[in-house]
Amino acid sequence: MNTVAVIGAGYVGLTTATCLAHLGHTVTCADINETRVDELNNGQVPIHESRLPELLQDGLFQQTLKFVVGARQAVTNSEFVFLCLPTPQGDDGRADISAISQVIEEIREIIPAGSIIVNKSTTPVGTNAAIQSLIQRDDVAVVSNPEFLREGVAVTDFLQPDRIVIGATDPEAAQKVTSLYNGIDAPIITVDPASAETIKYATNSFLATKVSFVNALAAVCEAVGADIESVTRGLGSDQRIGSRFLQPGPGWGGSCFPKDMQALVRMADDAGYQFDLLRAVIEANEQQFVRIVSKAEQLTDDKLAGATITLLGLTFKAHTDDLRNSPAIEVANLLSAKGARLIAYDPMVDSEAALPEGIELAQNMEQALADSDIAVILTEWPEFARANWGALRDSMNAPRVLDARNALDRHAMLDLGFQYDDLGRT
């Protein structure tokens, strides 16, 4: 087993640190946020990730995992240094890798000879080479090891991945990083660093494209009288397509898809290729927000101004508390601009502070739906499908539901007397 440093205790770093400790390594995870470090050393998990609390407790109890403030504290005797740092979208759409450059400056002199820097952050093609030149140490190798962790299920995605991608120029370094994952049953794909970095962007961009495709297909189904759930059953049965990521919704969002799509378009531009296909997918996603609003307009006979609209769901998807780039917030802003009064309920959002101006927060569905002119389902929380809509209907000002996640039973809602609309279902 090995001694590993993980720099960054966010979604990726925390998952990586706890899972590598779970695999038997001795891990020191560093973050700049002292409060977060203290919380973690006390076993408190600051993010919503299933299985993470148990793994954290195990690591702390077995003393195979600890947290420190600052990268320098973590690297002194580490054989591997994982970079799990934010690479936010810059104003120009390109990925901002300043956090990585800063850490490299910090550790350059003290990182032990023979150790390996493992970049798990999502970084533009060429960053591996940039880190190698920044570190100015020919006794330290740099390996790319992109992550494919979905929020909410990151631990499962780490321990049961479809594949592990290793990008390296040095075969020995590649082999050493591969051996860290002993105990995980998954194909290891070892390529050059630029290809590893490209695989990450290609994966997220293709997934976003698949989601935008099914959203557009749902609109076609409405126009031609087909049923999207029947169509995606037939479509997804083709092994070349696969049935996952074919669920229509208000559009894709989150802390990754939007920034990774923009970064890939910019990277291609900089390299001399106009990635118009991806530009079209980004535009189609923006249009999906508008489509949801126009459906709400139709359902309220074009009377959104002054209407009370209940938003059910604010997070960018269910089973997370993350509001970053949430399609629900995009739709809320468009509805607010139409003069609607917005009341929202999301089981994982309990403070209006994180919300745009004008969204009132209710504590439960009943409160959110009282005297409402229309309910719009924007996040697929199971609570919304389980609710007793017959009882909720009578408290609404008008029984109208726009189900932008196809989360409810269409026929049951129509039988209950709701004016009901969804995405592409007959």
Site of interaction with ligand UDX (CB under 6 A): 147-151, 204, 207, 211, 245-247, 249, 252-254, 256-257, 316-317, 327
CB of 253 to ligand UDX, least distance (A): 4
Angle subtended at Cα 144 by Cα 139 and Cα 148, rounded to the nearest 5 degrees:
155
- What is the biggest distance separating any 2 CA atoms in the chain, rounded to whole angstroms? 72
Q: For residues 193 and 327, which CB has a smaller minimum distance to ligand UDX in the complex? A: 327
For residue 84, indicate whether it is catalytic.
no
Cross-strand partners of 188:
164
Q: For residues 135 and 246, which CB has a smaller minimum distance to ligand UDX in the complex? A: 246
CB of 172 to ligand UDX, least distance (A): 28
Residue tagged active-site, from 19, 29, 84, 256: 256
CB of 306 to ligand UDX, least distance (A): 30
Q: For residues 211 and 361, which CB has a smaller minimum distance to ligand UDX in the complex? A: 211
Q: For residues 69 and 219, which CB has a smaller minimum distance to ligand UDX in the complex? A: 219
Side-chain half-sphere exposure of 162, counting CA atoms within 13 A: 6
CB of 173 to ligand UDX, least distance (A): 23
Q: For residues 72 and 148, which CB has a smaller minimum distance to ligand UDX in the complex? A: 148
Using only C-alpha atoms, what is the Rg of the chain? 23
- The 3-state DSSP class for residue 355 equals coil
Cβ distance 307 to 301 under 8 Å?
no
CB of 209 to ligand UDX, least distance (A): 11
CB of 303 to ligand UDX, least distance (A): 28
Alpha helices in 163-253 (DSSP H): 171-180, 193-224, 228-236
Q: For residues 148 and 348, which CB has a smaller minimum distance to ligand UDX in the complex? A: 148
Cα–Cα distance measured from residue 27 to residue 140, given in angstroms and rounded to the nearest whole number: 19
CB of 68 to ligand UDX, least distance (A): 26
Which of 322, 304, 302, 301 is CA-nearest to residue 313? 322
Which of 120, 121, 119 is CA-nearest to residue 132? 119
Cross-strand partners of 237:
none
Cβ distance 277 to 355 under 8 Å?
no
Cα–Cα distance measured from residue 26 to residue 72, given in angstroms and rounded to the nearest whole number: 17
Q: Tokens standing for 215?
A: 């959203």
Q: How far is CA 183 from CA 163, 207, 249, 375, in A?
A: 13, 28, 36, 47
- The 3-state DSSP class for residue 195 equals helix
What long-range pairs does 379-382 form, CB within 8 A, spacing at least 24?
Answer: 379/312, 379/313, 379/314, 379/315, 379/316, 379/317, 379/318, 379/326, 379/328, 379/346, 379/405, 380/247, 380/249, 380/313, 380/317, 380/318, 380/405, 380/407, 381/312, 381/313, 381/318, 381/346, 381/347, 382/318
Q: For residues 230 and 388, which CB has a smaller minimum distance to ligand UDX in the complex? A: 230
CB of 66 to ligand UDX, least distance (A): 26
Q: For residues 232 and 372, which CB has a smaller minimum distance to ligand UDX in the complex? A: 232
Cross-strand partners of 311:
344, 376
Tell me which residues are annotated as active site: 256
